[in-house]
Amino acid sequence: MTYPTYRLSTDVSERLAAAGLAPLDVESVIARALSEDLDGGVDVTTMATVPRSQRSRLVFASRASGVVAGVPVAAAVFAMVGGDDVRIEWESADGERVTPGSRVLSVVGSTHALLRAERPALNLLGHLSGIATFTARWVDAISGTRAAIRDTRKTTPGLRALEKFAVRCGGGLNHRMSLADAALVKDNHVIAAGGVVQAFTQVRAMHPDIPVEVEVDSLDQLDDVVDAGADLVLLDNFTVDQMREAVQRVDRRVRLEASGGLTLDAAAEVAATGVDYLAVGALTHSAPVLDIGADLETVG
C-alpha cells in the first residue's frame, strides 16, 4: 500500500527535530508500519462500520504509571494518514511522568483516518514509553551516586534512533549510535589483534579523533590499557569488589563503565563503587510496553 506523501506540519516537524529525531527518518519508519498494517488492502472493519463523513476525537491516555516518550512520533502517524485534516492536541510532553488516567495525546479528524493510524501510533508510543519508563527505574535506583545509566546497540533493527531517544526521555545517556562514531574494543577484537593493548593502540593510531573504549575482564588488563593511554574502560562481568578495586586503582584517571549481568536490584550497589556508567542493554531489548489506551469520541 502506498500512502500519499503528506508534508508534516511545522509543529510536528519541529517537535521531532527538538527531540533529536530526523523527520524524514521517522516518516520512513511510519510508512513501513502503515504498509504492514494494511498489507496492500483496506481496513475492512472500518470500511463496513463507519460512515465516511464521520469525524471523531481519539484520546490516548495512560493506564499505568510511567514516563512518556514518542508523543510527536505518534502524532506524525496521524499526520501521514490524515494530512491537513487532522488536528493534534498535545496533552503530555516527552519525558513527563504520567499516572493512570493521564491524557497523553488527542487527535481530531476523520474517523476512518484515526482508526487506520491508531494501532501503528499506539505501538510506537507504548514501546517508546516503555523504554523511557524502564530507563527511569534504573536512573531512580542509582540516584545520589555519581554514576549514569547508558544504553547499548542492542536495539530493534530500524528503530535505534527512536529507542535511544526514549532512553534519553527516561533520564539515561546514549552510548554510540553506530560502529562509526566511537570505538569499542571487545574480546573478539582483542583475540584478532593479539592482545588488549595491541587492539587499543591500533584503533587509536588509525582513528586518533574518535572516542575509544576498551573492554577488560581482569584488573591486570585494566592496568595495561590505562598505562597504554585509554581514557574509558568497560569492566566486563566484574564483581562489586573488583569494581571497587578498579575505581581505587585508576583514581579518576579514566572513566569506568560496569557491564555484564547487571540487575535493577543490584544497580545501587554497583553505582556506589564509584564507576561512571552502568551499561544496560535491557533498556532497549527487554523493556515492557507502557500500557496506553486509545478511546474514540465522535464529534460529528
Catalytically active residues are: 119, 154, 186, 215, 236
Residue with cell 574518535: 210
Which residue, chain included where needed, has cell 476525537?
57
Nearest Cα to 280, choosing from 165, 137, 161?
A: 137
Residue 293 bridge partners (DSSP): 61
Phi-psi domain of 264 (left: phi exceeds 0; alpha: psi -120 through 50; beta: other): alpha
Residue 231: other Cβ atoms inside 10 A: 14
What is the DSSP secondary-structure string of 170-236?
A: TT-B---SSSSSSEEE-HHHHHHHTSHHHHHHHHHHH-TTS-EEEEESSHHHHHHHHHHT-SEEEEE
What does the radius of gyration of the chain's CA atoms come to, in whole angstroms?
A: 23
181: left (phi over 0), alpha (psi -120 to 50) or beta: alpha
How far is 278 from 173, CA to CA, in rounded Å?
10
